[in-house]
Amino acid sequence: MKTASTTMAHLVERVRNILDGDPRVTEKTMFGGLTFLLNGHILVGTKKDGRILLSVGKDHNDEALARPGATQMVHGGKPMRGFIWIDPDAIEDDDDLRSWVETAERWVAALPPK
């Protein structure tokens, strides 16, 4: 039986494998899970419920939301354009997870380092 902590640990390892030791990436606990930062900017966050949070940029927000399993991040009752949640079902397959992480990486890598 998978618990939330084993599910998140597995998800964290899957994301680490995709990022494969990229020296620009650091890890920080945020939003109730482990978040991967690229040059100091949020790239992908993992949640205990198996979802991931991605930074896709305001200009790519609607395009990302059109993909299956994506929902807008809402914080304090306000939509946070540029950040989206991806449901666990949409990232069960490693190729799908990689595609989402690469989508975020294209946007975040273009930002100046913090």
The count of C-alpha atoms lying within 13 angstroms of the C-alpha of 11, restricted to the half-sphere facing its C-beta, is: 31
Query: Domain map of the chain by residue range?
Result: 4-108
**Contact in structure between 91 and 15 (CB atoms under 8 Å):** no
Architecture of domain 4-108: Alpha-Beta Complex (3.90)
* H-only helix segments in 1-114: 4-19, 61-65, 94-108
Q: Has residue 1 got a pLDDT over 60?
A: no
Mean pLDDT of 81-93: 97
Share of the chain above pLDDT 90, in %: 89
Q: Has residue 6 got a pLDDT over 70?
A: no
Report residue 62 as tokens.
């609607």
Residue 41 and residue 44: Cα distance in Å, rounded? 9
Helix (H) or strand (E) segment spanning residue 96: helix 94-108
Tell me the pTM. 0.91
Mean pLDDT of 34-52: 96
Closest to 72 (Cα-Cα) out of 87, 92, 88: 87
